[in-house]
Structure 1
Amino acid sequence: MPNLIFWIYIIVSFANVIAKIIPSEDLDQFTKPMLMPLLMFYVYRSSIGKTTKRILLVSGALFFSWLGDVALMYQANEAFFIAGIGLFLVAQIIYVIVLRTSAYQKPSFNLVQVIPFLAYGGALFFVLLPAGDFTIPISIYGVVILTMVIMARLREGNTSQESFRLALYGSILFVLSDSILAFNAFHTAIPYAGVFIMSTYCAAQLLLVKGLLKHVE
């Protein structure tokens, strides 16, 4: 059953990306709300009989991501855009917690390992800010998602290599997806931005989920 759900998620993800290419608002609005519920069902079917705090946290992150997806479908309305940022902020905080706790021991800070991410975050902030009325929420969200990818990087040696790599690649793609979204919204319009945003986002969520499920307590 998990394999079937996995492939359904892949198909729906491709359909959503195609909706951005055509473009088709109807196909987009039909497929986008299906993505995170499919991953939540995948988590459920993959962890039957193994319900742990980690599984509940991952499910919670996906739930708030789903709410954020729905809110951002109406981002032309500023209130929905702010709500979407807030909901994804909650999802990222949950991911920070689950990445920190899905390790054999508390990850220790290593400046050398995280310098590339700090440099990228600093450069992106410099390019995007100020973002008008969105400066504060965007800054807060940026710090949290940067913390998420750093936490994923610091798990090396504290989990299996497969879990480490999948979660790290997923977190990097999440940062890339949000970077494209922010650059497109606050700096320069990017042709087919929706294609790049959704393709990296769908892959990011899947890799994060699979990576965290691969961790063995």
Structure 2
Amino acid sequence: MKKPIWLLDIFYALASLGCLLGRLSDAPLDQQLDYSCKPLLMPILALRFYWSLPQNARKNDLLFVLALLFAWGGDVALMLGDAYFILGLGSFLLMQLLYSYLFFQRRSWSSFLGRRPIFAPLILSLAFGFYFLALPKLLEDPILPFAVALYALALGSMSILALTVYKKQAAKTLGALGLGAFLFLISDLMIGLNAFVYPNFFLAGFGIMSTYTLGQWLIVWAYPKLNS
């Protein structure tokens, strides 16, 4: 029986909408809406991903589900406040390392990045440009300069490796994968800007969550199609 993946997409869209609406104001009910919906996002995507896998899926592809569980851990940790920031950072770092490993397994010189290598230094410049902006604030803590540097490197590398994935006659899928990874990069950079450079900048929460939810969905939509 064909699984109703479209139904999970509806649930994910509703949960994402709840998060976005909850971040448009500081009213207690709006915050409660955000906190109620955010923990649902990654479990829905993990189930969607699992249902999307063909029967001949490689064992490595199941690591993707683990990556989404680490993303869920990061989501929950960041909801708990500043005291859990490093824990959330570490959980998302593990997600990015798994994503990077899976993308690396499908690399090809025929990929977008193989044909346009200039994008690699551009992406790393974006990631570390934020890092140097945040460095004065990071230096107030003995751990954060090293932790955020490692995170920025992993974040940029994940986005770069997404552009090395290649499958012949799958331009739409590869485009969605690359865009999803880039949106995730932008979302995390906005988290960093909000935390260390420009606190509470205009529509910070809305921008962070909109790029995050769309970016993750695009990656989860695209990756299983590489097996078909």
TM-score relative to the length of structure 1: 0.90
Report the CA distance shift for 1:159/1:135 in structure 2 as closer, same or farther (over 3 A). Answer: farther
Choose from 3, 6, 18 the match for 2:6: 3
For 2:109 and 2:185, how far apart are their aligned partners in 1? 25
Whether contact under 8 Å (1:104, 1:159) holds in the other structure is no
Matching residue of 2:226: 215
Distance 1:87 1:177, change over 3 A: same
In structure 1, runs of 5+ residues without a counterpart are none
Q: TM-score, normalised by structure 2?
A: 0.86
Q: Which runs of 5+ in 2 are unaligned?
A: none
Contact map agreement 1:102 1:212 (CA 8 A) in 2: no
Q: Which residue of 2 aligns with 1:165?
A: 175
**Cα separation, 1, equivalents of 2:169 and 2:63:** 18
Q: CA deviation at 1:125?
A: 2.1
- State yes or no: 1:41 paired with 2:47: yes
Q: Contact 2:73 / 2:91 at 8 angstroms: preserved in 1?
A: yes
- For 2:196, the aligned partner's letter is F
Name the structure 1 match of 2:119.
113
**CA positional deviation for 1:106:** 9.6
Structure-1 residue corresponding to 2:155:
145
Aligned equivalent of 2:87, options 83, 89, 96? 83
Q: Count matched residues.
A: 215
| CA spacing shift, 1:116–1:6, aligned 2, 3 Å | same
Change (3 A) 1:2 1:39: same
Instruction: Kindly state the Cα deviation for residue 54 of structure 1 after the two structures are TM-superposed.
Output: 4.0
**Which of 50-59 and 65-74 deviates more?**
50-59
Distance in 2 (CA, whole Å) between partners of 1:45 and 1:71 is 27
CA offset at residue 116 of structure 1? 1.8
Aligned-residue RMSD, C-alpha: 2.1
3-state SS of paired residue (2:82): coil
Q: Percent identity?
A: 29
Distance 1:11 1:33 in 2: 13
Which digits, 9 at most, give the CA deviation of each residue in 1:116-149, with x for residues without a partner?
2122223222212141321111110000010001
**Contact persistence 1:164–1:211 (CA under 8 A):** yes
Letter in 2 for 1:196: G
Q: Identify which of 10, 13, 16 aligns with 1:13.
A: 16
Distance in 1 between residues matched to 2:181 and 2:166, nearest whole Å: 14
